[in-house]
Amino acid sequence: MSESPSANAPVGSSGYFATTHWSVVLLAADGTSSQSEAALESLCRTYWYPLYAYVRRCGHDPEEAKDLTQAFFARLIEKKQLATVERGKGKFRSWLLGVMKHFLAHEWVKGRAQKRGSGQPVFSLDEVDPEERYRLEPATDWTAEKIFDRRWALTVLDAAASRLQREYEAEGNASLYAGIKGFVSSADEEVSYAQAAQRLGLSLSAVKSAIFRVRVRYQELIRAEIAQTVANAAEVDEEIRYLLEVLRD
């Protein structure tokens, strides 16, 4: 059955902030249920590439960086280090980068890091090709820390966009989303609105309304992604300001 796009697609759906401040980190640290395993996998998938890019920019070759990143997550799980995170002391991304710096300085050089595939990681980095992504990184004098922060920012945006698409699809509005997703984070010319309206079979005012709603929801989901790993609402705003600053560079 073909879909009939509706301009009244979801905004502020009931799922918003279903996972709140630090809940994902705390649930992952619990480690006693399938939900905690899913939360841990979610965190690992979110941060593996920012950390891989950090390790590469520190001077390690692709295979060594891949081994290091996998070994880091394996050790994080083995030593239950997430249980040591204190939500009142800084942001999770800062804590995680600090742990990685310690790992590189004290564990790998001592030859105790696990080689890729030797442990039981939460997920396999062989599922992806991190070096393909790393080749697209700018050949600049950016520090490893700056590369990590920029990758973190783009990962947040990607996660929010993926969740946004799933919401529209769940509401039976996949075709509407496909027609307006190009407007989510950019301001197009009036002619583009008219073209979108023609493609979707909607009035110009209906398309403008749909675009406004999808942008609002996208901003909500970015906040929700950030809220999962900061301690309070004030830090959400601070992280969003930092995210925008990182992307402007």
Residue 230 has pLDDT above 70, yes or no: yes
Based on its alpha-carbon atoms, the radius of gyration of the chain, rounded to whole angstroms, reads: 20
pLDDT(45) > 70: yes
Taking only the tens place, the pLDDT of each residue in 184-220 is 876 555 558 888 899 999 999 999 999 999 999 999 9
At 117 the pLDDT is 44
When mean pLDDT is compared across 10-24, 25-39, 172-186, 217-231, the lowest value belongs to: 10-24
DSSP sequence for 176-230 = HHHHHGGGSSS---HHHHHHHHHHHT--HHHHHHHHHHHHHHHHHHHHHHHHTTS
Q: What are the pLDDT digits (tens) for 113-142?
A: 445 444 445 455 455 677 777 766 666 777
Residue 165 burial by CB count (10 A; 0-12/13-18/19+): exposed, middle or buried? middle
| 64 or 217, higher pLDDT | 217
pLDDT digit string, tens, across residues 18-38: 333 466 777 777 767 777 777
Enter the tokens of residue 135. 């080749």
Q: What is the pLDDT of residue 187?
A: 58
Q: Between residues 137 and 53, which one has the greater pLDDT? A: 53
Does pTM surpass 0.85? no
- Within 8 A by CB and 6+ apart from 139, the residues are none
CA separation for the pair 140, 151 (Å, rounded): 15
Does the pLDDT value for residue 180 go beyond 50?
A: yes
